[in-house]
Amino acid sequence: MDNVYIKISEWFDAFMGGTWHWFNTLSREEWVVVLGVAAACGFLCMRGFGSRSNF
C-alpha cells in the first residue's frame, strides 16, 4: 500500500512541476488570457448556479 502512495506522490510532483514550468513560459498576452479565464470562472462561481428563491 505504501508503494501506491509513493506513486501518487511522484505523479503529483511531476504534474505540478510541469504545470509550474508551463506557467513560467507564458508571454504577456497569454497571461492576459489566463487572467480573463480565471476572472470569468470566478464571476460564474460568485454568481451561483441557481436562483436564490429556491433556497
Tens of pLDDT, residue by residue over 7-40, are 888 888 888 888 888 888 989 999 999 999 999 9
Instruction: Return the half-sphere exposure (C-beta side, CA atoms, 13 A cut-off) of residue 41.
Output: 6
**Does residue 50 or residue 28 have the better pLDDT?**
28
How many C-beta neighbours within 10 Å does residue 18 have? 10
Q: Which residue has the cell 487572467?
A: 35
CA atoms of 15 and 13, how far apart (whole Å)? 5
Q: What is the pLDDT of residue 53?
A: 59
Q: What is the pTM of this model?
A: 0.55
The yes-or-no verdict on residue 4 having pLDDT over 90 is: no
How far from the centroid of its chain's Cα atoms is residue 45's Cα? 14
Whether the pLDDT of residue 50 is over 80: the answer is no
**Spatial separation of the C-alpha atoms in residues 23 and 6, rounded to whole Å:** 26
